[in-house]
Chain A
Amino acid sequence: MLASLQAYWAERGCVVMQPYHTEVAAGTMNPATFLRCLGPNEWRTAYVEPVIRPTDGRYGENPFRFQHYYQLQVILKPTPDDVLDQYWGSLEALGIDLTRHDPRLVEDDWEQPTLGAWGLGWEVWLDGMEITQFTYFQQLGGMDVELVPAEITYGTERLAMFLQGKDSALELEWAPGITWGDVYRENERQFSAYNFEAASVDMLMRHFDGYEAECGRLLELGLPLPAYDQVLKCSHTFNLLDARGAVSVSERAAYIGRVRNLARNVARAYVESLDAHAAV
Chain B
Amino acid sequence: MPTLLFEIGSEELPASAVVAGARQLPELVTAQLGVEPARVYAGPRRLAVRVEGLPERTPDEWAKGPPVALREQAAAGFSKRHGVSVDDLDERDGFLGVTVRGKPLAEVLPDRLDAILRALAFPKTMRWDASGLRYPRPVRWLLARLDEAAVEGFGTTTFGHRFIAGELDVPRADDYERLLREANVEPDAVERDRAVRAGLDAHGDWSDPLGKLAEVVHLVEWPRVQEGTFAERYLGLPERVVVTAMQSHQRYFPLGANRFAFVANGGDPETVREGNERVLTGRLEDATFTFERDVARGIDELVRNLASITFFAGAGSFADKTGRLVQLVDELGGGEAPREAARLAKADQAAELVREFPDLEGYIGAEYARLAGYPEAVAKAIEEQYLPDSASGALPETDAGKILAAAEKIDNLRVAFGLGHKPTGSRDPYGLRRAAIGLLRLATEGALPIDRTTAFPDPELRDFVEERLEGLLDVPVEFVRAARKSGVRDLGAVATLASFLGALDDDRLEPVHTVFTRASRIAGSQGNGSVNPSLLTEEAEVQLARAVESEEARIAREVEEGDFESAFEAAATLAPVVERFFDEVLVMAEDAAIRTNRLRLLSELRDAVGALGDFSEIPR
Using a CB–CB cutoff of 8 Å, the interface residues on chain A facing chain B are 58, 61-65, 78-79, 81, 84, 88, 98-107, 109, 119-120, 122, 126-129, 136, 138, 148, 162, 165, 167, 245, 248-249, 252-253
Known: A102-B267, A127-B267. A148 touches B275 (CB 8 A): no
The answer to whether A107 touches B15 (Cβ under 8 A) is yes
The answer to whether A63 touches B274 (Cβ under 8 A) is no
Q: Annotate B255-286 by CB proximity to A: 1 below 8 A, 0 otherwise.
A: 00000001011111001101110111110011
The answer to whether A127 touches B272 (Cβ under 8 A) is yes
The answer to whether A253 touches B129 (Cβ under 8 A) is no
Min CB gap A172→B, angstroms: 13
Question: Which one of A78, A122, A148, A248 lies within 8 Å of B308 (CB-CB)?
Answer: A248
Known: A102-B265, A129-B275, A252-B310. A167 touches B128 (CB 8 A): no
Known: A120-B137, A122-B12. A101 touches B128 (CB 8 A): no
B window 186-235: CB within 8 A of A: 219-220
> Please, which residues of chain B bring their CB within 8 A of the CB of A248?
308
> Please, which residues of chain A bring their CB within 8 A of the CB of B271?
100-101, 127
The answer to whether A105 touches B12 (Cβ under 8 A) is yes
The answer to whether A63 touches B129 (Cβ under 8 A) is no
B window 576-602: CB within 8 A of A: none
Min CB gap A111→B, angstroms: 11
- A105 CA / B162 CA spacing, docked (Å): 11
Known: A100-B267, A101-B271, A148-B128. A127 touches B281 (CB 8 A): no
Beyond A102-B266, A107-B14, A120-B137, 14 additional contacts (C-beta under 8 Å) are: A63-B285, A63-B286, A64-B286, A100-B268, A100-B271, A104-B219, A104-B220, A105-B44, A122-B12, A127-B267, A127-B275, A129-B279, A136-B126, A148-B126
Tally A-B pairs: CB < 8 A: 108
User: What 7 A-B pairs are tightest by C-beta distance, nearest first?
Assistant: A127-B275, A107-B14, A105-B12, A102-B267, A128-B276, A128-B279, A100-B268
Question: Which one of B280, B289, B309 lies within 8 Å of A128 (CB-CB)?
Answer: B280
- A136 CA / B136 CA spacing, docked (Å): 11
Whether a CB of chain A sits under 8 angstroms from the CB of B127 is yes
Known: A79-B128, A162-B275. A64 touches B267 (CB 8 A): no
> Please, which residues of chain B bring their CB within 8 A of the CB of A127?
267, 271-272, 274-276, 278-279
The answer to whether B316 touches A249 (Cβ under 8 A) is yes
- A101 CA / B271 CA spacing, docked (Å): 7
- A122 CA / B272 CA spacing, docked (Å): 20
Min CB gap A96→B, angstroms: 11
B window 282-301: CB within 8 A of A: 282, 285-286, 289
Does more than half of chain A's interface fall in helix, strand or loop, or is it mixed?
Answer: loop
- A62 CA / B278 CA spacing, docked (Å): 16
> Please, which residues of chain B bring their CB within 8 A of the CB of A109?
124
Using a CB–CB cutoff of 8 Å, the interface residues on chain B facing chain A are 11-15, 44, 124, 126-130, 136-138, 140, 162-164, 219-220, 250, 262, 264-268, 271-272, 274-276, 278-282, 285-286, 289, 307-310, 313, 316-317
- A2 CA / B610 CA spacing, docked (Å): 81
Known: A105-B12, A122-B12, A127-B272. A167 touches B163 (CB 8 A): no
The answer to whether A103 touches B163 (Cβ under 8 A) is yes
- A248 CA / B309 CA spacing, docked (Å): 8
Min CB gap B237→A, angstroms: 16
- A129 CA / B272 CA spacing, docked (Å): 10
Min CB gap A129→B, angstroms: 5
- A253 CA / B309 CA spacing, docked (Å): 11
Between A and B, 6 residue pairs with Cβ closer than 8 Å are A63-B285, A81-B129, A101-B272, A127-B275, A148-B128, A167-B281
- A128 CA / B130 CA spacing, docked (Å): 34
> Please, which residues of chain B bring their CB within 8 A of the CB of A249?
307-310, 316-317
- A51 CA / B304 CA spacing, docked (Å): 31
> Please, which residues of chain A bring their CB within 8 A of the CB of B162?
103
- A61 CA / B140 CA spacing, docked (Å): 45
Nearest CB in chain B to that of A62: its residue: B289
- A249 CA / B282 CA spacing, docked (Å): 33
> Please, which residues of chain B bring their CB within 8 A of the CB of A167?
278, 281-282, 285
Known: A84-B11, A100-B268. A64 touches B282 (CB 8 A): yes
- A5 CA / B164 CA spacing, docked (Å): 24
Nearest CB in chain A to that of B137: its residue: A120
> Please, which residues of chain A bring their CB within 8 A of the CB of B316?
249
Interface centre among B12, B44, B264, B313, by most chain A C-beta atoms within 10 angstroms, is B12
> Please, which residues of chain A bring their CB within 8 A of the CB of B268?
100-101
- A106 CA / B276 CA spacing, docked (Å): 15
The answer to whether B275 touches A245 (Cβ under 8 A) is no
The answer to whether A101 touches B267 (Cβ under 8 A) is yes
> Please, which residues of chain B bring their CB within 8 A of the CB of A120?
124, 126, 136-137
Min CB gap A139→B, angstroms: 10
Interface centre among B278, B307, B313, by most chain A C-beta atoms within 10 angstroms, is B278
- A103 CA / B272 CA spacing, docked (Å): 10
> Please, which residues of chain A bring their CB within 8 A of the CB of B220?
104
The answer to whether A101 touches B275 (Cβ under 8 A) is yes
> Please, which residues of chain A bring their CB within 8 A of the CB of B262?
128
> Please, which residues of chain B bring their CB within 8 A of the CB of A63?
282, 285-286, 289
- A62 CA / B103 CA spacing, docked (Å): 69
> Please, which residues of chain A bring their CB within 8 A of the CB of B128?
79, 136, 148
> Please, which residues of chain A bring their CB within 8 A of the CB of B267?
99-102, 127
> Please, which residues of chain B bring their CB within 8 A of the CB of A136?
126, 128, 138
Min CB gap B16→A, angstroms: 8
> Please, which residues of chain B bring their CB within 8 A of the CB of A99?
163-164, 266-267
Nearest CB in chain A to that of B276: its residue: A128
The answer to whether A102 touches B279 (Cβ under 8 A) is no
> Please, which residues of chain B bring their CB within 8 A of the CB of A88?
163
> Please, which residues of chain A bring their CB within 8 A of the CB of B317?
249
- A105 CA / B15 CA spacing, docked (Å): 11
- A162 CA / B276 CA spacing, docked (Å): 11
- A44 CA / B281 CA spacing, docked (Å): 37
Known: A102-B275, A167-B278, A167-B285. A128 touches B250 (CB 8 A): yes
The answer to whether B163 touches A98 (Cβ under 8 A) is yes
- A136 CA / B12 CA spacing, docked (Å): 13
- A138 CA / B138 CA spacing, docked (Å): 13
Nearest CB in chain A to that of B313: its residue: A253
Question: Which one of B13, B126, B278, B313 lies within 8 Å of A129 (CB-CB)?
Answer: B278
The answer to whether A105 touches B11 (Cβ under 8 A) is yes
> Please, which residues of chain B bring their CB within 8 A of the CB of A101?
267-268, 271-272, 275
The answer to whether B286 touches A62 (Cβ under 8 A) is yes
Nearest CB in chain A to that of B267: its residue: A102
> Please, which residues of chain A bring their CB within 8 A of the CB of B219?
104, 106
- A148 CA / B289 CA spacing, docked (Å): 40
Known: A100-B267, A127-B272, A128-B280. A81 touches B126 (CB 8 A): no
